[in-house]
């Protein structure tokens, strides 16, 4: 295949290979460790009988490649877990079973995922709007007072931790001005209006940090594009500055923004721990921290795999959008 179809096929195959490689690394890091792997997996409160049961479920007596194959089978076809008196089937994609709560790991993740996705996707809309808009304006007004002010603001935003911005916003907006309620997650399906109102402050906290990075990147890319020969040609033919910036320079500068945004969205699904903890949002990041504290290894492994999946998927989507924005990428 050639052209755009071939490009999509290559990216799809590369994505699958990357995910398989990540699963190997995660399995080796967490399940091939010094010490009693069954005891670590089950947790410190498990009895010897429970530890023995976990060792059988993990096939610890088999060679490493056989153990990994059983792990991979769980992801694609599911597996059975012994509860002591009966067998419980875990449907694919089976990420294991929490030995702390008895729940299937996938059920735990699906219960937390809407919170993290709500936080990240809402924040993404704001950080793109604020960051790209500020970067374009800063490049357009280069050398003027407004450009210096915007540059100083973006530098301050990059240097300020998210918990500082979040605390200031809660004290001022929720406490002093009482414009918004203190955030308390409400499901979108229950009340869309309350869902948005309660997430507005976390969105702003996350977006103000990320927007600073996007503003600096957009400004640098815009200045580089505005200095190219074809832009000077447009000016020589009398094309207006707004048309040059909006139709030509912005499109050329948007490719690095797509790549950075994909990386941020993928990593933020599980990486917005501070934001979730600060505002009390029961998302994946907060659940991952809790699983590490109680040494719930199956939950940790499952969440690491899910976060890796979102990072890889986001970058694959970015590659496709990059190719749409610049057709030369298809031929690379």
Tell me the per-residue pLDDT of 284-295, one tens digit each, with 9 for 90 and over.
888 888 888 888
pLDDT in tens, 209-226: 888 888 888 888 888 877
Spatial CA neighbour of 74 closest among 111, 31, 44, 113: 31
Residues 321 and 209 in one domain: yes
313 within some domain: yes
> What pLDDT was estimated at residue 17?
93
85 within some domain: yes
Residues 83 and 141 in one domain: no
> What pLDDT was estimated at residue 253?
72
d(CA 256, CA 264): 12
62 within some domain: yes
Burial of 294 (0-12, 13-18, 19+ CB in 10 A): middle
CA distances from 22 to 34, 105, 278, 307, 323 (A): 21, 18, 30, 11, 25
Q: Is residue 187 left, alpha or beta, with left meaning phi > 0 and alpha meaning psi from -120 to 50?
A: beta
97 within some domain: no
Other CB atoms within 10 A of residue 147 CB? 16
Residues 234 and 278 in one domain: yes
Residues 259 and 114 in one domain: yes
103 within some domain: no
d(CA 40, CA 300): 12
Burial of 262 (0-12, 13-18, 19+ CB in 10 A): buried
Number of folded domains in the chain? 2
Residue 88's contacts (CB-CB under 8 Å, 6 or more residues apart) are: 80, 81, 82, 97
CB 232 within 8 A of CB 218: no
Q: What angle do CA 32, 33, 37 make, to 5 degrees?
A: 85
Spatial CA neighbour of 269 closest among 308, 226, 221: 308
11 within some domain: yes
Mean pLDDT by 10-residue block, N- to C-terminus, for the chain (332 residues)? 74 90 89 74 76 79 85 84 66 82 88 90 89 82 75 75 84 85 86 89 86 84 78 77 72 76 77 81 86 85 88 84 66 52
> What pLDDT was estimated at residue 84?
56
Domain of residue 251: give its range: 108-326
140 within some domain: yes
96 within some domain: no
CB 75 within 8 A of CB 93: yes
Residues 164 and 81 in one domain: no
Residues 223 and 307 in one domain: yes
Q: What angle do CA 299, 306, 71 make, to 5 degrees?
A: 65
pLDDT in tens, 289-321: 888 888 888 888 898 898 888 888 888 888 887
Residues 73 and 212 in one domain: no
User: Residue 65: CA atoms inside 13 Å, Cβ hemisphere, count?
Assistant: 0
């Amino acid at each position: 295949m050639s052209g755009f179809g071939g490009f999509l096929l290559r990216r799809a195959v590369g994505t699958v290979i990357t995910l398989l490689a990540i699963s190997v690394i995660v399995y080796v890091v967490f399940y091939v460790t010094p010490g009693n792997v069954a005891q670590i997996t089950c947790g410190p409160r498990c009895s010897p009988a429970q530890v023995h049961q976990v060792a059988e479920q993990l096939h610890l007596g088999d060679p490493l490649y056989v153990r990994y194959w059983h792990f991979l089978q769980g992801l694609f076809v599911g597996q059975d877990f012994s509860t002591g008196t009966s067998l419980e089937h875990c449907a694919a994609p089976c990420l294991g079973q929490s030995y702390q709560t008895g729940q299937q790991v996938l059920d735990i993740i699906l219960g937390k995922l809407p919170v993290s996705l709500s936080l990240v996707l809402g924040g993404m809309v704001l950080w793109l709007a604020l960051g790209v808009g500020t970067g374009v304006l800063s490049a357009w007004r280069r050398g003027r007072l407004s450009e210096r002010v915007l540059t100083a603001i973006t530098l301050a935003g990059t240097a300020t931790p998210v918990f500082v911005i979040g605390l200031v916003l809660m004290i001022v907006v929720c406490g002093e001005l009482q414009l918004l309620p203190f955030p308390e997650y409400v499901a979108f399906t229950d009340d869309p209006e309350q869902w948005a109102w309660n997430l507005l402050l976390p969105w702003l906290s996350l977006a103000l940090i990320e927007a600073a990075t996007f503003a600096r990147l957009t400004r640098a890319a815009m200045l580089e594009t505005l200095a190219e020969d074809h832009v000077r040609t447009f000016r020589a033919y009398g094309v207006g500055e707004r048309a040059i910036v909006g139709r030509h320079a912005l499109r050329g500068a948007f490719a690095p923004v797509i790549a950075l945004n994909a990386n941020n969205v993928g990593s933020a699904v599980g990486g917005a721990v501070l934001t979730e903890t600060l505002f009390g949002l029961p998302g994946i990041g907060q659940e991952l921290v809790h699983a590490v504290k109680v040494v719930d290894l199956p939950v940790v492994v499952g969440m690491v795999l899910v976060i890796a999946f979102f990072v890889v998927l986001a970058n694959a989507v970015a590659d496709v959008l990059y190719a749409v924005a610049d057709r030369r990428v298809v031929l690379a």
